[in-house]
């Protein structure tokens, strides 16, 4: 279910059934000459879209922009260094709205700078503010009450990564490869957005500049099959979490 497509009766039913809300978040950042500027967001969106087909959830409007600090390129290449405070306020109002509507399981699938990067910290701050606001009117000692106002209160809003809920076969098993614009992200993009991936532009860029950034040097090893395998691995973990 997509939130903007839902009627009021459908929203009330989803709230009553404690259906989780899922928000894709990313960045608008240069990922090399061969990948689109929205790579981070598009990878998150791919997983969200597939998860929505597997389990009952409400897909919210996304948070596609975040701070890049112009690490990879400048505005002339289409990159946005989105103010973290603006991201915080966007997330804050979204969380407030969903909590006021009655949703109690809100997830953000954030893909930019990893699970502990600036965007995740920014969105988590907004989540913390909404949680504080929600509990402000409760009496002291509310945790000792026979019935806690919101049973899952401390996990009501969760900011997680692509594979946060994935089950690896062992602690030493290879992790989902990512890497900025590298083999990892290139093959993840190939899974659903292969028409946006132009591998021949890597060769043209290398001829023009004389070299590739170190983080792009394994991009040519990417394959669609490998990207599909890892996308499905992440989707399974998220679907299992949201179905619980």
**What single-letter DSSP state applies at residue 211?**
S
- Write 70-76 long-range contacts (CB < 8 A, 24+): 71/29, 72/29, 72/30, 72/31, 72/180, 72/181, 73/29, 73/30
Which structure tokens are listed for 152? 């899952």
- Write 38-42 long-range contacts (CB < 8 A, 24+): 38/64, 39/181, 39/185, 39/189, 40/111, 40/112, 40/185, 41/111, 42/189, 42/192, 42/193, 42/196
C-alpha 135/C-alpha 156 separation (Å) is 12
Residue whose C-alpha is closest to residue 178's, from 23, 31, 13: 31
Q: What is the pLDDT along the chain (244 residues), one digit of tens a residue?
A: 999 999 999 999 999 999 999 999 999 999 999 999 999 999 999 999 999 999 999 999 999 999 999 999 999 999 999 999 999 999 999 999 999 999 999 999 999 999 899 999 999 999 999 999 999 989 999 988 888 888 899 999 999 999 999 999 999 999 999 999 999 999 999 999 999 999 999 999 999 999 999 999 999 999 999 999 999 999 999 999 999 8
- What pLDDT is stored for residue 195 in this prediction? 97
- What pLDDT is stored for residue 231 in this prediction? 98
Which structure tokens are listed for 67? 């701070």
User: Is the pTM of the predicted complex or chain greater than 0.75?
Assistant: yes
Residue whose C-alpha is closest to residue 177's, from 166, 167, 188, 168: 188
Coil vs helix vs strand at 242: helix
Return phi, psi of residue 14, to 5°: -65, -40
C-alpha 165/C-alpha 196 separation (Å) is 28
- What pLDDT is stored for residue 147 in this prediction? 85
- What pLDDT is stored for residue 148 in this prediction? 85
Domain 3-174+229-243 homologous superfamily, CATH: Creatininase (3.40.50.10310)
Residue whose C-alpha is closest to residue 109's, from 121, 125, 120, 118: 120
Q: Find the length of the chain.
A: 244
- What pLDDT is stored for residue 151 in this prediction? 85
- What pLDDT is stored for residue 244 in this prediction? 85
- What pLDDT is stored for residue 226 in this prediction? 97
Domain ranges of the chain: 3-174+229-243
Name the one residue in this structure whose structure tokens are 């659903």: 192
Which structure tokens are listed for 159? 């900011």
End-to-end Cα spacing for the chain: 17
Which structure tokens are listed for 6? 């839902």
């Amino acid at each position: 279910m997509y939130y903007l497509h839902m009627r009021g009766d459908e929203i009330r039913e989803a709230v009553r059934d404690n259906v989780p809300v899922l928000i894709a978040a990313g960045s608008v950042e240069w990922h090399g000459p061969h990948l689109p500027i929205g790579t981070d967001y598009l990878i998150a969106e791919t997983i969200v879209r597939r998860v929505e087909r597997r389990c009952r959830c409400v897909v919210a409007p996304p948070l596609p922009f975040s701070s890049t600090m112009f690490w990879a390129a400048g505005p002339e290449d289409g990159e946005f260094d989105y103010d973290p405070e603006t991201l915080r306020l966007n997330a804050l109002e979204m969380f407030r709205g969903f909590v006021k509507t009655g949703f109690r399981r809100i997830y953000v699938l954030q893909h930019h700078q990893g699970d502990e990067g600036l965007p995740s910290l920014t969105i988590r701050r907004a989540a913390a503010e909404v949680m504080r606001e929600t509990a402000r009117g409760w009496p002291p000692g509310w945790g000792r009450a026979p019935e806690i106002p919101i049973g899952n209160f401390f996990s009501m809003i969760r900011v997680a990564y692509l594979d946060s809920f994935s089950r690896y076969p062992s602690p030493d098993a290879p992790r989902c490869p990512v890497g900025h614009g590298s083999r990892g992200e290139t093959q993840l993009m190939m899974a659903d957005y292969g028409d946006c991936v132009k591998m021949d532009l890597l060769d043209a860029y290398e001829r023009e500049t004389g070299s590739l950034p170190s983080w792009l040097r394994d991009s040519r090893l990417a394959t669609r099959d490998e990207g599909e395998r890892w996308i499905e691995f992440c989707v399974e973990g998220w679907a299992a979490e949201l179905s619980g």
